[in-house]
Amino acid sequence: MAEFVKEYAALTPEERAREYDAAREEWERFKASGLKLNMARGKPGKEQLDVVSGIFFRMLEHDEYLSDGEDVRNYGELAGLPSARRLFADILDCKPEQVFVGGNASLQLMYDTISKGFTHGLLHSSGPWFKEGMIRWLCPVPGYDRHFRITEDFGFEMIPVPMTPNGPNMDFVESAVKDPSVKGMWCVPKYSNPQGVIYSEETIHRLASMKTAAPDFLLMWDNAYVVHEFEGEYQPFPDMLSVCAEHGNPHRVIEFASTSKITLPGAGVSCFACSVENMTYLKRLLSVQAISFDKVNQQRHVLYLRSKQRTLDLMKEHAAILRPKFRCVEETLENKIGKLNIAKWNHPKGGYFISLDAMPGTARRALHLCHQAGVTMTAAGATYPYGLDPLDSNIRIAPSYPPIGELRKAAEILCVCLRLAALEKLEG
Amino acid sequence: MAEFVKEYAALTPEERAREYDAAREEWERFKASGLKLNMARGKPGKEQLDVVSGIFFRMLEHDEYLSDGEDVRNYGELAGLPSARRLFADILDCKPEQVFVGGNASLQLMYDTISKGFTHGLLHSSGPWFKEGMIRWLCPVPGYDRHFRITEDFGFEMIPVPMTPNGPNMDFVESAVKDPSVKGMWCVPKYSNPQGVIYSEETIHRLASMKTAAPDFLLMWDNAYVVHEFEGEYQPFPDMLSVCAEHGNPHRVIEFASTSKITLPGAGVSCFACSVENMTYLKRLLSVQAISFDKVNQQRHVLYLRSKQRTLDLMKEHAAILRPKFRCVEETLENKIGKLNIAKWNHPKGGYFISLDAMPGTARRALHLCHQAGVTMTAAGATYPYGLDPLDSNIRIAPSYPPIGELRKAAEILCVCLRLAALEKLEG
C-alpha cells in the first residue's frame, strides 16, 4: 500500500472521510488478528537477559566469597562492599566514600530518600518535612511516572517544569526555587525519560549554582542511563557531585544509579552517591532499617563487571540488541506518518524511550484505540504529574521488550491509531 | 584451679577481698593476652555459611530461569514469585496469597511497615499516624534492640512489657491496649530474642482476642526463629494469622520471617504474611517504591530449599553446628559461676541467644570489663527500649559466630567480669 503523504490539516472533507475509512479498515484488521503486544515499560528483552548469563557463574569458587579479606556472605557493611563502592565510583566518576551500594532497585533508594525527608528531614532541614506544611517539588515534563508517583504519594504539590532540548527550562527553575516550600526536583540528566535529552553544561551549572530559598533543597539526580548509549560512542557526563561542590553547594545533590539495565532488571544492584556529610547523615538513618544489603549480589556484580571499561564493553552488546529496535520504531513512524504532520518524536541515542508528541487532544484517544487493537502502551498522561498532560499529546514508546517482529507490528498499529485520532480531532 | 563454690553474698569481707584479688589477677591475665573476641550479634559462623554453598550452584541452567512459566530475570511480580510465596506459606503454615516475598532483610520490611503506618496509616487507621500525636508501642523486655530502635526512630513512646516464661505478661498487655494511642506491639513469638521463650497457647489466644482501643492496633509478629531449633525436634507453632482470624481480628497481625539464618545472613530472602485485605492495602503502598524485589534470589531459594521438610533437614545441619556452641557457653557459665548466685541464665532450645540476668546493678560494669579484656558483647541495656535496663542486669550472649575455642575463652572472660562486678557491688 502506498503511504499517504499529504498533511492531514490540508485535507478536504472528502479526502478526510476517505482517509478515515482506509485507516479504520486497517485498524479493524489489526484488531481482528487478536494481537497482544506491549510497548509500555522500559523492560529489557530476553536477548538482553541472555547476554549477561555469565553473572550466574560467579561465586562458584570459595575464594570468591572474600572481598578485601571480608566474607561477603555474612552480615555487615551497611554502605556496601568497598569493592562495589569503588566500582560504582568508577562508573559515576565520583569517590568511593561518596557511594552507598544498596539492594536491587534504585527506585527503592529514591523512595527512601524522600520518605526520610518526610519523616526525619534531610541534612540541612530544620526538621521533618511532615511538620512543614505543604512541600512543593519540581517535575520536568514530560518525565518519569514512577518519580512523580513517589512525590504524589507523600502529598507534595508537584510543579511541572517544561523541558527544552538542553534540559529543564532553567529560567523557570531559578524562579521557582525562590519559594522555600520548593524542596527539590526530579532529574534524569542523561537520556531523560522519556525524551532522551542530555542536560547541557549550562543547565547543570545553573542547577548546581542557583540560589534556593530552601536550605535543604535536593536534586534527585537519577542517572539511570549513565552508560546506556545504544547509538555511537559512550558520552562522558559531568559528575554532578563535583559540580555542586564547585559552586559551594556540595550537599544539594543525591545521585542514583543501578545495574537494572546493565545486568538484570530487578536483580541488579543499586546505589546512591552524595557528599560525605550527606552520607554520614543518611547512613545513621539507614542503620535503623538495615544491617546490610545483599553483598553476595554486590560481589557477583564486582566479579562480573569488574570496571567501568568492562561495563562499557557490555553495554555495547546491549546496544547491538537495542539499536535495531529503536530504528524499527523510528522508521515505521517515519514511513507511516512522517508526512502527515500529526506527530513529532525524538531520535534518542541512549536510554530506553522514544517520546512522541501527537496532535494535541489526541493522545488519550490514540492509546485507547491501541488498547482495543491489542497494543499496551504507557498510559496517556503518565509522563506528567498526577497523570495530567494538559495538551493530551505526549506518548511514551518503550521499544526494548518486544521481539523486533512484534515491535514493528505494534508501531504500525500505533500509527494507524494516531491517524484515526487525528482525523477524528480534525473532524471536530 | 578449683572453682569457687560459695555464694558471694555469704562471703566474709576477707573472703571477698581474696576472691577479688584472684579474679582480678585472672582478668589481668586475659587482658594481657590481647584477645579480640565477639559475642555481640546473632551472626552465623563460617561453618554455617559453608553448609549452604549449594545455593550458589542454582541458576546455572537456562530452565532454572523460569518459574511457573515466567522469566524470573525480568521486572515484575511485586509480591514475589508465586513459587516463593508457596514456599514461605509452607514454612509459616499460612496461605500463599497471604505472603509477600521481599528482599534480603525482614528488618527492612518491618521498618517499612512502621514507616507506612506513620506516613500513610494502616488498613484500619483513620489517617497517617504522624497526624495523631503521640503513638505508644508495647515492647516486651528484654527484647530485640533493632526492633526498639525502629519505634524509637519514629518518636513512639515505648512501653516495656515484662516477659514471663509464657511470653509477655498478658494482664499488663490487656490493660495497656485500652489506651487508643497504643498502636502496636513487637513480638518474637518463638525463641524470643534474647530469652528463647516460646509464647504459650494461652498468650497467643489472648493476644489475638484482646479488645484494643486502637482499631489499627498491630502485632509486629517477628517469627525470626520459626524453624530454628538447635536442640530436639522441630516444634510446630500456631499460625497467628489463623488464630487472629478465628477471634474476629484477622487484620491485627503482620508476620515477618526470613532465610537470613537458614541460607545466608544478609543475602537471603525475607517475607511478610498478613490477611488478604492487608496485603491488598500494603501492595498498593509498596507499588510506589518497588517494581519487584530480587526474584532471581527468590528463585535460587525456591530451587535450593524446595519445601518446609527440606528446610527442616537443612536446619538440622545448622543445629549440629550451633548446639555445641550453646552447650559450651552454658557449661562454662555453670562451671565458673554456677554456685555463686550472681547470675541466672536461660537454657534455650532454639533461636540465637542466651539471656543472662546478672546481679542487679552490675551488667554495665561487667561488660565494660569484658570490653577492656577484648570481648565485645551486646551493649548493656540494649535489650530494653532506649537502651535503659532499669535493673542494669540483663546481658545478651550470642554464641553463634566465634569458633568454639574462642567462644569458651570469651565465656570464661565474661564469668570473671561478672565476678569482679558482683564483688565490687557487694563491697558497696
| Cα–Cα distance, A375 to A396 (Å, whole number) | 13
Q: What is the pLDDT of residues B339-374, one digit of tens each?
A: 999 999 999 999 999 999 999 999 999 999 999 999
In chain A, which residue's Cα lies nearest the Cα of B52?
A: A73
Find the mean pLDDT for residues A303-328. 98
**Element (DSSP H or E) covering residue B82:** helix B82-92
Mutate which: B74, B81, B301, vs A, most A CBs within 10 A = B74
Do residue A294 and residue B294 have CB atoms under 8 angstroms apart? yes
- pTM confidence score: 0.97
pLDDT bracket for residue A1 (50, 70, 90): very low
Find the mean pLDDT for residues B91-119. 98
- The C-alpha cell that represents A359 in the structure block: 496532535
Do residue B267 and residue A154 have CB atoms under 8 angstroms apart? no
pLDDT of residue B4: 53
Q: What is the pLDDT of residues A256-311, one digit of tens each?
A: 999 999 999 999 999 999 999 999 999 999 999 999 999 999 999 999 999 999 99
- The C-alpha cell that represents A46 in the structure block: 530476553
Which among B49, B290, B293 has the least Cβ separation from residue A73? B49
pLDDT of residue B6: 82
Mean residue pLDDT across chain A: 97
Predicted complex ipTM = 0.96
Report domain extents, chain A: 8-49+312-427, 67-307
Mean residue pLDDT across chain B: 97
| Cα–Cα distance, B324 to B230 (Å, whole number) | 9
Q: What is the pLDDT of residues A142-198, one digit of tens each?
A: 999 999 999 999 999 999 999 999 999 999 999 999 999 999 999 999 999 999 999
Residue B208 has φ and ψ, to the nearest 5°, of: -75, -30
Find the mean pLDDT for residues B169-173. 98
Residue B352 has φ and ψ, to the nearest 5°, of: -130, 10
| A116 DSSP β-pair partners | none
Do residue B290 and residue A103 have CB atoms under 8 angstroms apart? no
Asked if CATH classification 3.90.1150.10 holds for the domain at A8-49+312-427, the reply, yes or no, is: yes
pLDDT at A121 over 80: yes
State what percent of residues in chain A have pLDDT above 70: 99
Do residue A107 and residue B60 have CB atoms under 8 angstroms apart? no
Mutate which: B61, B289, B400, vs A, most A CBs within 10 A = B289
pLDDT bracket for residue B2 (50, 70, 90): very low
Nearest CA-CA distance, residue B153 and chain A, Å: 7
CATH of domain A67-307: 3.40.640.10
pLDDT of residue A5: 64
In chain A, which residue's Cα lies nearest the Cα of B104?
A: A294
Do residue A41 and residue B294 have CB atoms under 8 angstroms apart? no
Question: CB–CB of B292/B76 below 8 Å?
Answer: yes
Which among B43, B103, B118 has the least Cβ separation from residue A103? B103
**Element (DSSP H or E) covering residue B67:** strand B66-67
CATH of domain B62-306: 3.40.640.10
Scanning B266-403, the segments in alpha helix (DSSP H) are 276-286, 295-305, 308-337, 363-372
B62-306 has the same fold as B8-49+312-427: no
Mutate which: A296, A297, A300, vs B, most B CBs within 10 A = A296
Nearest CA-CA distance, residue B400 and chain A, Å: 12
